[in-house]
Amino acid sequence: MSLSLERLRSDGILSPVGLNLAKMNLTRDEYEVLGFVLGGMHETLKWAIGDYLIEGERRYGEEAYQLQEALGISEESRRQYVRVAEAIPMPRRHSELTWSHHRSVAALDPTEQDEWLRRAQSEGWSKADLDAHRKPESAKTQVVVEEVIRTANEVVDSAAPNGEGYKIPSQPVDELREALGRGATS
């Protein structure tokens, strides 16, 4: 039995409102093949929608936003698809990895994106594995951010109005400079 999308549609199994598998006498293997087809469609559609949105804006400018309502997806989803598709152009995408792998590294610079995606592919990492390997980097950044926030609050809390502005003791300022990686001046 061939499980093409056209056949699923023509047999009334796949419709705009769902997948009626009760109409099919699927073997275990056919069920698995169908899972691969649906999963592949799911991943492909995310990229296709992102690329569609980018091209629509390029071609039709502001008018594209009205035309894109035809997708029937939220503005937030559209922004996310565009963000990932713009950050990682088609020639740099890894077909062996999921769209979610790419989303995970989209905020990085292109060199870092390529390195993490290459590693994920060569090591066979899931998206969760990729995130776990990137976590030490993220955790370090989070510690720095928390330290800067803590010391910035100390600076604000220790500032005393003096008629012309504020007088701030040097210790919290030095701590803030350290947290920012600039070193203390005293």
Which domain does 175 fall in, by range?
133-186
Do residue 67 and residue 150 come from a single domain?
no
pLDDT at 31 over 80: yes
pLDDT at 107: 92
pLDDT of residue 137: 62
Helices (H) and strands (E) in the chain, counts: 8, 4
Q: Do 112 and 170 sit in the same domain of this protein?
A: no
Structure token pair of residue 142: 């989070």
Whose tokens are 């699923």? That residue is 8
* 32, 81: one domain: yes
Domain shared by 124 and 138, yes or no: no
Question: 92-149 pLDDT, tens per residue?
Answer: 999 999 999 999 999 999 999 999 999 999 999 999 999 988 886 655 566 677 778 8
In the predicted structure, residue 185 carries a pLDDT above the cut 60: no
Using an 8 Å Cβ cutoff, are 4 and 31 in contact? no
Residue that is written with structure tokens 């996310």 in the block? 80
Residue 143 sits in the same domain as residue 61: no
Separation in Å, CA 141 to CA 106, 152, 170, 180: 17, 16, 25, 11
Tokens 């705009």, located at residue: 16
Going by C-alpha positions, the residue among 83, 142, 76 that lies closest to residue 107 is 83
Question: Domain count of the chain?
Answer: 2
Confidence of residue 39 (pLDDT cuts 50, 70, 90): confident
d(CA 5, CA 23): 15
- Give the per-residue pLDDT at 143: 66
Instruction: State the pTM of this model.
Output: 0.62
In the prediction, which pLDDT does 172 show? 78
Can you give the pLDDT at residue 136? 64
